[in-house]
Structure 1
Amino acid sequence: MIARLLHKPLTWVAVAVIAAGAAFGLAWFQPWKLVTDTEVDEMLSAVEATTAPAGVGTPGPAGAPATGPGSPTTSPAGPMVVSRGDFVTHEHDTSGSARIIRTADGRHRLELVGLATSNGPDLRVWLADQPVRPGTAGWRVFDDGRWVELGRLKGNRGDQAYDIPAGTDLTALTSVSIWCKRFSVSFGAASLRAVA
């Protein structure tokens, strides 16, 4: 009889511990995000596909300077692509491209174009100084050096834009990572190469 009475409280304690552990595990890992998608369709910058080389423009009247895109006397009226790159897969299949845009007023923003990756807990968008390495060698490198967090990933699918803080050294931050902050791993990353 005493053994039965002692056994019942221990059973309830064990059940409570297991339930608490399961609740913590679900909250921490958020496994449902692996089978759900969040789609974003933000308006991206309208940029020209190609730009004229510097000094090339439309000739003006005799003796007048050349005018038009790329001419020394005019500056771009609209947004320009400063750098761009395509995503490679790290922890999860990732595709799409990233580009840094300089807006007409001189600010910068990162645009993710056609992003497709897995959803996950605590995903962030980082600019980093680490090189993009393919495969498992590139999974955990982005927090080893300098990085700037642009915000939480708005969605794991679609087009989206993130403002880059003024004063950010874009010459040193040459890659973008979809970074899972909770588990310190990159879902995917892109090397940003300057556009001539």
Structure 2
Amino acid sequence: MKILINAFLALSLTMLATFGASAGTSGSFIGKSDHITTGGVTIVKNADGTATVTLDENFSLDGAPDPRVAFGKDGSYAPEADLGVLQKLNGKQVYTVPASVNIEDYNEIYIWCLKFSVPLGVAALN
């Protein structure tokens, strides 16, 4: 039994090193500014130092002009941590975090309306 457990642990460590993913952070969107924004978000920091933000399959936004995805902290949108235009209103989408953005500096993900400078949805990260 001990041999099987050790083999399993060795295989698990090898898989982590191979695929490069480390611990992730996640949250769920709450609509803001009279918009309906729902679904989950996950941030993964990879072993190579890169990070990705993934809006889950269940993500949904009711619509708005010029929606963006960005980090924020303590109730404030961070324009310097903008990840780009929201790719679509529903479903899974993946955004690469620029090397200039330290994900440790933020505790929220925003769906932000650039045109009217208002939040459309915010997910607190845990």
Q: Which TM-score band (shorter chain)?
A: 0.7 to 0.9
Q: What's 1:59 paired with?
A: 6
Q: State how far apart, in whole Å, the 1-side matches of 2:46 and 2:118 are.
A: 31
More divergent stretch after superposition (101-110 vs 178-187): 101-110
1:117 and 2:61 equivalent? yes
Structure 1 segment 33-48 matched on structure 2, within 5 A: none
Greater RCO (Cα-Cα under 8 Å, separation 6 or more) = 2
1:149 and 2:82 equivalent? yes
Secondary structure of 1:151's counterpart equals: strand
What's the RMSD between the two structures over aligned residues?
A: 2.3
Please tell me the residue identity of whatever aligns with 1:142.
Answer: Y
Count of matched residue positions in the alignment of Structure 1 and Structure 2: 118
Q: What's 2:28 paired with?
A: 86
**Which ranges of structure 2 fall in alignment gaps of 5 or more residues?**
none
Query: Would the aligned equivalents of 1:147 and 1:173 in 2 still touch at CA under 8 Å?
Result: no
Query: Would the aligned equivalents of 1:80 and 1:101 in 2 still touch at CA under 8 Å?
Result: yes
Query: TM-score, normalising length from structure 2?
Result: 0.80
Please tell me the residue identity of whatever aligns with 1:150.
Answer: L
Q: Which of structure 1's runs of 4+ aligned residues deviate more than 2 A? A: 77-81, 102-106
* Aligned-pair CA distance for 1:153: 0.6
Q: State how far apart, in whole Å, the 2-side matches of 1:188 and 1:154 are.
A: 15
CA distances 1:134-190 after superposition (whole Å, capped 9, x unpaired): xxxxxxx425xx740000011111110100011421111111010001111111110
Please tell me the residue identity of whatever aligns with 2:112.
Answer: W
Identity, in percent, stands at 27
Q: What's 2:123 paired with?
A: 190
**1:151–1:173: structure 2 CA closer, same or farther, 3 Å change rule?**
same
**1:81–1:95: structure 2 CA closer, same or farther, 3 Å change rule?**
farther
Secondary structure of 1:142's counterpart equals: strand
CA distances 1:32-59 after superposition (whole Å, capped 9, x unpaired): xxxxxxxxxxxxxxxxxxxxxxxxx932
* Aligned-pair CA distance for 1:105: 3.9
**1:98–1:147: structure 2 CA closer, same or farther, 3 Å change rule?**
farther
Please tell me the residue identity of whatever aligns with 2:73.
Answer: D
Secondary structure of 1:161's counterpart equals: strand
Q: State how far apart, in whole Å, the 1-side matches of 2:50 and 2:121 are.
A: 26
CA distances 1:89-136 after superposition (whole Å, capped 9, x unpaired): 1120111011112346442110000211122111100111234xxxxx
Q: State how far apart, in whole Å, the 2-side matches of 1:104 and 1:75 are.
A: 12
